[in-house]
């Protein structure tokens, strides 16, 4: 007797709807076991992770701030993945966007530059992110080089480039030798939505991006092409859709969004350029994209949920001394369960009895 | 003279974890599976390897802990990517995220502890030969093992029937399946071999490279190992050259600052990644060379029944 996978005739709509919920449920179950192993009260720990951050205004704002880059990057990635283009280098595009935008901020520092500074930073960051994402896309389309490997390699190049800038030419002379630029001028900072709060304009931009993606995918021909090229490449060829052009387009859009997220993070909550501006947003956004079922609204919900785990993790560390690493374990396990449950949309398990098949074949 | 010897020794030490991890990933990828979780498996191997050595006082048992931990991590990957036919890229990244978290949890209790690092070989007279003595006859066991490992893998892939079948699975799983080979089982073994190697490579760091454990001590070596496999165009011979080349770059970058060379260290660190991108593009252009990626690399396979 053996358990094997069998392709379903049609994809299962029911499982497609409930699979993220099953995955979250299974993850929480696993976390309960992990908390028990760590010697912490699982109920209290779950409360610290998932309930406590939702009960005060500061944490709620903090969740929105954390979700902003995750959602923006994940929306771009979802376009790529729908078109079967595997951009996994969003982390690098995020960093390059942050660098390009910061260039304006650093060069205008202390001058009487006007209100054009922030818009220029945003535009430049998006353009730089898009250009950086085009490297793997063009290598893929022109030479057939795996975009998975090239986009991943470029993450580390971007990381080292940023490191070089803030330790070298852009280092704040008054920064006590810390690797960081000087604090950005007010005109180079993303404005806060509530005076004295944490919520900033970036969250509004993220919501606009979600809306734009929903319209693109649901209401336009380009969106239809993206979905068809990914889901049915042969049908797309017969339909005359240009798959290569869509790889270029989706990579450019996702790079631009990641770059934009990068500069918003730097000019918003952080306020200056330094190494470690991203706790792996570009990689966590991949979880967000899959957990959100590559659907804009789903990604918004998934992004808020993942942001909750970041904030909850910090609170659980303070309140219960639960190590921050638990958040990483949580995110990894969640992605595993999401992927496993997704598999059941296309496949189902079947019991086979190899012996009987053999004897039937022989007879 | 002594400086040259010291540099060669440092390059060998820096290259060994890259060589071991990349050898494992090479076998995995030759069977058609792309496991991006090398960094995650390595870092869990580092934590478990140190834990094992600290608890038992034996570097050898520590290394075994690392091997088993890496293999177990890769088993999770195999279960997902092969058993459930899940996308390999996403699964590999999940494995790395999970591994970084797990190693932090496992290793938290061992930060600040020290162990006696792996012994170095000493043969009277031979080890005392100037310049080459310590390089050839004064290394720790990991270094010798890594060379034997890649030689063994070369022999396995190109000189045995099992190796031929493994490569067949990587190049065309449908044909291999049609010929009656158990593609998924072969790939599971290949993935677990890769995991065991990654775990050993991770364990090398706290057992031989530095005699203590710090969180995140693999510091991206798993990604370099991954790059190395591509850089070597999936060939064991070139993998050895690439591993020592990449190792040399990391050591030179440390010395370049001392010598007052005007190249920022970050540019040197970025070289392996940039070189890999360029090699990948050149390889993909010259497809006729026959030394390209395994044709079925990273694709999902569900056997028809």
ipTM of the complex as predicted: 0.87
Looking up tokens 């031989």, which residue turns up? B208
Share of chain B above pLDDT 90, in %: 56
- Position B46 scores a pLDDT of 96
Average pLDDT, stretch B146-154? 96
Taking only the tens place, the pLDDT of each residue in B76-112 is 999 999 999 888 988 998 999 999 999 999 988 888 8
C-alpha closest to that of B34 among B263, B298, B303, B299: B298
Average pLDDT, stretch B238-254? 88
**Residue ranges of domains in chain B, CATH in brackets:** 2-289 (1.10.3470)
CB contact (8 A) between residue B270 and residue A161: yes
List the 186-245 stretch of A: residues with Cβ below 8 A of B. Answer: none
- Least CB-CB distance to A325: which of B101, B226, B287? B101
User: Domains of chain A: which residue ranges?
Assistant: 70-304
* A93/A151 Cα distance (integer angstroms): 9
List the 315-334 stretch of A: residues with Cβ below 8 A of B. Answer: 323-333
Q: Which residues of A touch B43 (CB under 8 A)?
A: none
Buried b (16+ CB within 10 A) or exposed e, A178-208: ebbbbebbebbbbeeeeeeebbbbbbebbee
Is the predicted pLDDT of residue B255 greater than 80, yes or no? no
User: Predicted confidence band at A358 (pLDDT cuts at 50, 70, 90)?
Assistant: very low
CB contact (8 A) between residue A333 and residue B98: yes
- Tokens in use for B134? 């310590």
Is the predicted pLDDT of residue B40 greater than 70, yes or no? yes
Is the predicted pLDDT of residue A361 greater than 50, yes or no? no
* A132/A151 Cα distance (integer angstroms): 9
Q: At what angle do helices B183-204 and B59-78 cross, to 10 degrees?
A: 140
Let me know: does A15 contact A293? Beta carbons within 8 Å.
Answer: no
Task: Decide which of B156 and A110 is more confident.
Answer: B156
**Chain A contact present for B214, CB below 8 A:** no
| The model's pTM | 0.89
Size of interface A-B (CB pairs under 8 A): 154
Measure in Å the smallest separation between the Cα of B161 and chain A Cα atoms: 26
Taking only the tens place, the pLDDT of each residue in B11-25 is 999 999 999 999 999
- What is the chain A residue with the closest CA to B301? A5
Let me know: does A190 contact A268? Beta carbons within 8 Å.
Answer: yes
Is the predicted pLDDT of residue B203 greater than 70, yes or no? yes
Least confidently predicted of A21-30, A55-64, A222-231, B250-259? B250-259
Measure in Å the smallest separation between the Cα of A352 and chain B Cα atoms: 10
Is the predicted pLDDT of residue A179 greater than 70, yes or no? yes
- What is the chain B residue with the closest CA to A157? B270
- Least CB-CB distance to A352: which of B103, B270, B305? B305
* A105/A266 Cα distance (integer angstroms): 10
Burial status of residue A152 (CB atoms within 10 A of its CB: 0-12, 13-18, 19 or more)? buried
Taking only the tens place, the pLDDT of each residue in A23-70 is 989 999 999 999 999 888 999 999 988 899 999 888 899 999 999 999
- Position A355 scores a pLDDT of 59
- Least CB-CB distance to B266: which of A144, A164, A336? A164
Is the predicted pLDDT of residue B69 greater than 60, yes or no? yes
- Position B140 scores a pLDDT of 87
Mutation to test the B interface, candidates A335, A341, A345, A361, most B Cβ within 10 Å: A335
Average pLDDT, stretch A337-347? 86
Share of chain B above pLDDT 70, in %: 95
Q: Which residues of A touch B96 (CB under 8 A)?
A: 283, 332
Eight-class DSSP state of B289:
G
Least confidently predicted of A265-269, A335-339, B259-263? B259-263
Eight-class DSSP state of A192:
B
Average pLDDT, stretch A84-96? 94
**Chain A contact present for B87, CB below 8 A:** yes
* B41/B70 Cα distance (integer angstroms): 5
Average pLDDT, stretch A67-75? 97
* A53/A49 Cα distance (integer angstroms): 7
Average pLDDT, stretch A243-266? 96
* B121/B259 Cα distance (integer angstroms): 31
Distances (CA, A) of A26 to A333, B96, B269, B301: 9, 20, 40, 26
Of the ranges A12-16, A173-177, A207-211, B135-139, the best mean pLDDT one: A207-211
User: Predicted confidence band at A1 (pLDDT cuts at 50, 70, 90)?
Assistant: low
Average pLDDT, stretch B65-71? 97
Please report, for chain A, how many H helices and E strands are present, in that order.
14, 2
Is the predicted pLDDT of residue B260 greater than 80, yes or no? no
Average per-residue pLDDT for chain B: 89
* A90/B89 Cα distance (integer angstroms): 14
């Amino acid at each position: 007797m053996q358990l094997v996978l069998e392709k379903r005739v049609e994809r299962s709509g029911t499982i497609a709807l409930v699979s993220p919920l099953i995955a979250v449920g299974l993850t929480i179950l696993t976390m309960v076991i992990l908390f028990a192993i760590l010697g912490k009260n699982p109920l209290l720990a779950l409360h610290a992770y998932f309930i406590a951050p939702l009960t005060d205004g500061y944490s709620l704002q903090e969740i929105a701030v954390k979700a902003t880059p995750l959602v923006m990057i994940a929306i771009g990635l979802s376009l790529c993945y729908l078109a079967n283009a595997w951009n996994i280098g969003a982390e690098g595009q995020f960093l390059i966007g942050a660098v390009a935008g910061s260039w304006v901020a650093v060069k205008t520092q202390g001058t009487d530059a006007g209100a054009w500074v922030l818009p220029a930073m945003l535009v430049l960051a998006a353009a730089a992110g898009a250009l950086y994402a085009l490297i793997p896309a063009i290598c893929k389309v022109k030479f057939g080089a795996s975009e998975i490997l090239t986009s991943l390699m470029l993450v580390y190049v971007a990381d080292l480039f940023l490191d070089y800038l803030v330790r070298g030419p852009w280092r704040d002379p008054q920064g006590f030798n810390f690797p960081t630029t000087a604090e950005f001028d007010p005109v180079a900072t993303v404005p806060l939505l509530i005076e004295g709060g944490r919520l900033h304009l970036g969250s509004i931009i993220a919501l606009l991006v979600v809306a734009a993606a929903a319209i693109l995918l649901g209401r336009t021909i380009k969106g239809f092409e993206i979905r068809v090229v990914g889901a049915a490449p042969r049908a797309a060829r017969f339909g005359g859709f240009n798959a290569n052009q869509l790889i270029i387009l989706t990579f450019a859009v996702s790079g631009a969004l990641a770059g934009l997220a990068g500069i918003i993070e730097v000019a918003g909550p952080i306020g200056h350029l330094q190494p470690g501006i991203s706790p792996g947003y570009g990689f966590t956004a991949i979880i967000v994209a899959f957990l959100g079922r590559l659907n804009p609204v789903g990604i918004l919900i998934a992004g808020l949920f993942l942001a909750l785990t970041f904030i909850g993790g910090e609170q659980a560390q303070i309140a219960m001394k639960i190590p921050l690493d638990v958040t990483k374990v949580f995110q990894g396990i969640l992605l595993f369960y999401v992927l496993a449950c997704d598999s059941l949309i296309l496949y189902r398990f079947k019991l086979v009895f190899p012996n009987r098949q053999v004897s039937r074949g022989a007879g | 003279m002594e400086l040259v010897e010291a540099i060669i020794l440092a390059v060998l030490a820096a290259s060994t974890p890259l060589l071991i991890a990349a050898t494992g990933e090479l076998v995995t990828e030759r069977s058609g599976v792309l496991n991006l979780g090398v960094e995650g498996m390595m870092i869990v191997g580092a934590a478990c390897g140190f834990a094992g050595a600290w608890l038992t006082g034996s570097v050898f048992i520590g290394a075994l802990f690392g091997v088993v931990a890496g293999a177990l991590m890769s088993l999770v990957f195999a279960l997902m990517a092969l058993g459930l036919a899940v996308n390999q890229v996403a699964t590999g990244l999940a494995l790395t995220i999970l591994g970084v978290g797990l190693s932090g949890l496992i290793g938290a209790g061992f930060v600040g502890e020290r162990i006696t690092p792996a012994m170095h070989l000493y043969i009277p007279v031979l080890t005392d030969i100037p310049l080459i003595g310590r390089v050839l006859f004064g290394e720790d066991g990991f270094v010798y093992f890594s060379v034997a490992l890649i030689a063994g893998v070369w022999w396995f892939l190109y000189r045995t029937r099992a190796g031929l079948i493994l490569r067949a699975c990587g190049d065309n799983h449908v044909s291999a399946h049609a010929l009656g080979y158990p593609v998924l089982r072969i790939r599971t073994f290949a993935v677990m071999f890769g995991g065991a190697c990654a775990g050993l490579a991770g364990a090398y760091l706290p057992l031989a490279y530095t005699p203590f454990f710090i969180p995140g001590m693999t510091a991206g070596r798993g990604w370099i190992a991954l790059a190395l496999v591509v850089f070597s165009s999936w060939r064991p011979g070139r993998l050895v050259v690439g591993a020592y080349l990449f190792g040399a770059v990391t050591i030179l970058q440390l010395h370049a600052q001392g010598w007052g060379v005007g190249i920022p260290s970050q540019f040197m660190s970025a070289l392996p990644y940039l070189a890999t991108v360029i090699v990948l593009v050149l390889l993909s252009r010259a497809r006729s060379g026959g030394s390209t990626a395994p044709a079925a690399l990273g694709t999902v396979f569900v056997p028809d029944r």
